[in-house]
Amino acid sequence: MTIVISNAVIATGDDKDSVHYGAAIAIEGDKIAAIGANEEIAAKYPAAETIDGSGKLVMPGFANIHTHLTMTMARGVFEDLSPSHKPPFTGGLSPIPLPDMTPDERRAMAELGALEAMRSGTTLMLEDSNNIDHYAGALAESGLRFLFGERAYDRTGTSIGDPGPLTIDRALGQRHMQTIERNFRDWDGKADGRVHICISAWAPDMCSPELLKDLSALQRKLDTRITIHLNQIWGEVAAIKAHYNRLPSEYLADLDFLNDKVICAHARCMTPEEEKILGKARVNVSFNAAIAARRGLSPRIADLESYGCNVGMGSDNMAEDMVEVLRTGLFMERIRREDGRSPTPEQALRWATRNGYQALGVPNAGWLEAGTKADMIVIDLQRAHLIPMLRAVSNFVHNGQARDVEGVMVDGKWTMRAGKVLTMDEPGIIARAQKTANECWSRLFRKRFDLKVPAGFSPHALP
């Protein structure tokens, strides 16, 4: 079946950042077949289902290359509880733990995150977590594209950013390795090839050097991606210095962990020498701009790119809104560079689309051109904040909102159309997630008298 969207604004994200106004795009099967003048495309595909794209912008879907969907549980709570950037470091990304969740509860929160991701125009994401099989099936049914990173670690009794003593449980790391291999067997290449499995090494200070070597060998054996939180917070840097007398990126390089299939999330608490190490190994960096801004930290993206890293974007925790991530990234880099012209909106959009697809190993995808994958979104331009439409990419990057996304297509199939989500039960997911969060937080605070309830918090705010 062929679909033609005619008379639309088409921002391609191709090598020349071409934008077509009043043009048509044809989709055949899972690929873009052609982009061109309305009459030309109509003549070429006379039997196609034709959709009037007047007043719409068609552009590539977003690739979120670092997220934890079940952490939507901590929305409105963890954003203001970041660890200190100065010693003493005690470990953890928040003084309050994430409540324990049953597999059903995890699935409820993961579905909420995926729904928000779709509504903000995300077509591909790397979801990093433990026991991905609790919700891989439910997420695959959303029709979105996933790279699931099953997580491994073998340091116990603490969390990221703790320079205190190391307690290593090698058997735990081996069990995680087995789960990765099992999930790879069960899920890699499933859902018409939309689902793949990669490895997540939690963080340099949460894995023994032996486990990091084992995971790196497994990455090469399975020929898949591997992701790691790297140079995320200053406590992590202190922990690696304390135990290995070097910096986190140096530590990974010395273990021969770094290569062009590695996705390093954050890369912000680091020296220029470490940036050069990452660039030399051609690693992919996830610029998690929105969470970085909330934590008061910023990576040096221009430098990482100039040294050879491929920069993509990720949402990380609590929110899955890639429109917000995209704009925050542009703003952060302009402030850091003290340059109101750099990066350009086209460069920022490339981080959030094409570079992300490259990072996650999806070939010929992330931009719109004959032969690329039909992973794209439709934006409703008939909005006060998007008119006048004169310069499509800049207008959307500076002014667009997640709610402007009215269509999402993955592999040539609509998952959302005319503002309606087709593949997920939206009201059911929203109701289930609120109920789940009420129950999980109530359980945690009933059990843990020692925890300080954050200002304005109620686990019964909504039924």
Closest-CB residue for Zn ion?
Answer: 316
**Alpha-carbon gap, residue 422 to 425, rounded angstroms:** 8
Mask for 143-162, x = binds Zn ion (CB under 5 A): --------------------
Burial 393-417 (b: 16+ CB within 10 A, else e): bbbbbeebbbebbbbbbbbbbbbbe
Residue for token pair 């300080």 = 452
Cβ 200 to Zn ion shortest distance, Å: 9
Phi, psi of 448 (to 5 degrees): -115, 90
- In whole angstroms, how close is the CB of 235 to Zn ion at the nearest point? 15
Q: Please tell me the count of residues contacting Zn ion according to CB under 5 A.
A: 1
- Residue 188 DSSP symbol: T
CB of 139 to Zn ion, least distance (A): 17
Burial of 115 (0-12, 13-18, 19+ CB in 10 A): buried
How far apart CA 63 and CA 209 sit, in angstroms, is 31
Cβ at position 129, least distance to Zn ion in Å: 10
Stretch (H or E) spanning 440:
helix 426-447
Q: How many beta carbons lie within 10 A of that of residue 79, not counting itself?
A: 16
CA end-to-end span of the chain:
44
Of residues 411 through 450, those in contact with Zn ion by CB under 5 A are none
Site string for Zn ion, 266-305 (x = CB under 5 A): ----------------------------------------
Six-digit token string for 401 = 């909102």
Task: Answer yes or no whether residue 406 interacts with Zn ion by CB under 5 A.
Answer: no
Interface positions, 306-345, toward Zn ion (CB under 5 A): 316
In a 10 Å sphere around its CB, with 0-12 CB exposed, 13-18 middle and 19+ buried, how is residue 125 labelled? buried
CB of 319 to Zn ion, least distance (A): 13
- Which residue, 285 or 392, is less far from Zn ion as judged by CB? 285
For residue 149, the minimal CB distance to Zn ion (Å) is 10
Pairing of strands 420-421, 2-11: unpaired
CB of 128 to Zn ion, least distance (A): 6
Pattern 235-264, Zn ion, x by CB under 5 A: ------------------------------
- ω into residue 204 within 30 of 0, thus cis? no
**Residue among 160 and 332 whose Cβ is closer to Zn ion:** 160
Compute the least distance from the CB of residue 294 to Zn ion, in Å.
13
CB of 179 to Zn ion, least distance (A): 19
Of the pair 263, 377, the CB lying nearest Zn ion is at: 263
Q: Residue 94, SS3?
A: coil
Helix (H, G, I), strand (E, B) or coil at 56: strand
> Quick one: 111 or 316, whose CB is closer to Zn ion?
316
Region of 249 please: left (phi>0), alpha (psi -120 to 50) or beta: alpha
The site for Zn ion (CB under 5 A) is made up of 316
